[in-house]
Amino acid sequence: MPPQLPPSVPRIRLQPRARKSPLQKCRYATAVAAITPAPSIEKLTTSVPPLARYPPSQPPSHRPPEFRKSQLHRQYTSLLRSTPLMLLFQHNNLKSVEWMGIRRELTTALRKVDGSRAAEGRGDADLAEGIKVQIIQTGLFAAALRVVEYFRPDLQPQAQSHHPSDPATQSSKSIPNVRPSPDEPTFSHGLSRAAHDAVMNKKLTHALTPLLSGPLVAVTFPTVSPQHLKAVLSILSPSPPDFPAPSRRLNPGYHDRTVQSGIQKLLLLGTRVEGKVFDVEGTKWVGSIEGGLDGLREQLVAMLSSVGAGLTNTLESAGRNLYLTVEGRRGMLEVEQKGPEDGSEGTPKEGPSKAP
């Protein structure tokens, strides 16, 4: 047989790619330049700051932030700085059922106060939801109190050179690539090393320190309201006649055995009002202010008005007395000058009567 030849494979003719002319390249570059704007002068003269290696809500701290004690310390520090009125009670092993009953009766009394204030047209009539009762740890609360009272972040020395994580540091600056340290003076939060050294290296005592012993309960108020304070004292520490307990007819739930058992285990220690410490008598004085803060403002305005009126009368008395004296003397002189003329022109003078 003749040899079989393989079938012929068709050849694929490749066409060369068309080359762009220099004119077309210039057109493409012109289009790109027209779309892309030129950088501004600020971008040419400044550089992007480096990113911090920690979240802004959790900077490096002297205390480990993942521990529960550190978070409680931050919570107590924020509570002391944001709460203008705080009541402190000492509790003695209250049960959960007793706490539930006390919170229920306290919420009921506070809502009644809000209702009365809303009927009077007060703007801040919704305060019952912001009044909280919580158990605090005495040691951590005392440490947070020292930080709030004696640590001043604005007086701490600042760092001489910028840290790599500081946004004020430009990225073009030659800086070492290191992680931020808790010992940096730029950190001045409550858990920083500066706050720790400011309050732990000295024997600092606060007026509230003698009360911080044993198990404590804090009743916090979002604002200073003597009316709400009176309601809280009437429930947690009743003392007639100024702070009487609710009657059984108006509030029968207050006289339950569990509620009364829990109230007997609470002892009022004192109050912190606007950074000032008050004892039990001072607390009752704040709660007994008639009309709340508005009534106190009215009393202050009345007192200042009376003082101003008295001062005005005192200053005007000298001029008034001088005016009256001058007017009186002038009248006397006019009478002396007109007296003889009026006597001569009037009725004749009567002579001595003769005896018959």
User: HSE-up of 247 (CA within 13 Å, CB side)?
Assistant: 3
Beta bridge partners of 268: 89
Instruction: Give the pLDDT of residue 118.
Output: 85
pLDDT for 289-327, tens place per residue? 876 666 777 777 877 777 777 777 777 787 778 888 888
Predicted pLDDT of residue 163: 54
Cite the DSSP H helix spans in 95-177: 96-119, 138-150
φ, ψ dihedrals at 221, nearest 5°: -120, 140
- Has this prediction a pTM greater than 0.85? no
At residue 133, the 3 state secondary structure works out as strand
Specify the pLDDT at position 101: 93
What mean pLDDT value characterizes the chain?
76
Q: Are strands 276-278 and 266-273 parallel, antiparallel or unpaired?
A: antiparallel
3-state helix, strand and coil shares in percent for the chain, rounded to the nearest 5: 50, 10, 45
Consecutive H or E run containing 54? none
Q: How far is Cα 187 from Cα 125, in angstroms, rounded to an integer?
A: 40
* Residues 127, 194: Cα–Cα separation, whole Å: 36
Q: Are 250 and 107 in contact (CB under 8 A)?
A: no
Q: pLDDT of 141-183, one tens digit each?
A: 988 888 888 777 766 655 445 555 556 655 555 555 455 555 6
Query: Does 122 score more than 80 pLDDT?
Result: no
DSSP secondary-structure letter at 268? E
pLDDT digits (tens, 9 = 90+) for 38-63: 767 766 665 555 555 666 666 677 77
Q: How far apart are CA 126 and CA 110, in angstroms?
A: 9
Q: Does the pLDDT of residue 29 top 90, yes or no?
A: no
Burial code (b: 16+ CB inside 10 Å, e: under 16) for 235-253 equals bbbeeeeebebbeeeebee
In this predicted structure, the answer to whether residue 354 has a pLDDT above a threshold of 80 is no
Report d(CA 235, CA 256) in Å as an integer. Answer: 13
Start-to-end C-alpha separation, the chain? 211
| 5-25: pLDDT as tens digits | 556 555 555 555 555 555 454
One-letter amino acid for residue 115 of the chain: G
Whether 257 shows a pLDDT value over 90: the answer reads: yes
